[in-house]
Amino acid sequence: MASVPPFAFAAAAAALAPKEPGRLSARIFTHGTLEVRWYAPRGTDPQTPHTRDEVYVVVAGRGEFLCDGSRHACAAGDLLFAPAGAEHRFENFTEDFATWVIFYGPEGGERPA
């Protein structure tokens, strides 16, 4: 998708965005350290830990979010956080599961306030 502008990004358009080779998600927008991606796993979620902090905003479906050994039910509208380096993934998710993924900050993650 395009860089700035536009200033609004529709989930329906993001769902059609192509993934780069070797990536599980599609890049939708970048600005400075901010990177927004679209992620809609099918079947299983093979994620590995990332080098930056990330936030997920669930757009469709429901499932369970595992992060550093904790399990949380999640559904459309929920916000989830995975610190840099944390083992995390989605499990038991519905076929329509989709989420915005928002990476931000420096490699290694930000320090807690």
- Domains of the chain with CATH codes: 45-107 (2.60.120.10)
CA 62 to mean position of chain CA atoms:
14
- What is the tens place of the pLDDT at every residue in 57-102? 999 999 999 999 999 999 999 999 999 999 999 999 999 999 999 9
6: pLDDT strictly greater than 90: no
98-104: strand order across its sheet: 26-31, 34-39, 98-104, 53-60, 79-82
Share of the chain above pLDDT 90, in %: 89
Structure token pair of residue 24: 């599980």
- For the stretch 88-111, what's the b/e string if a residue is b when 16 or more beta carbons lie within 10 angstroms of its beta carbon? bbbeebeeebbbbbbbbeeeebee
4: pLDDT strictly greater than 60: no
The letter for the amino acid at 32 is: G
Q: pTM of the prediction? A: 0.91
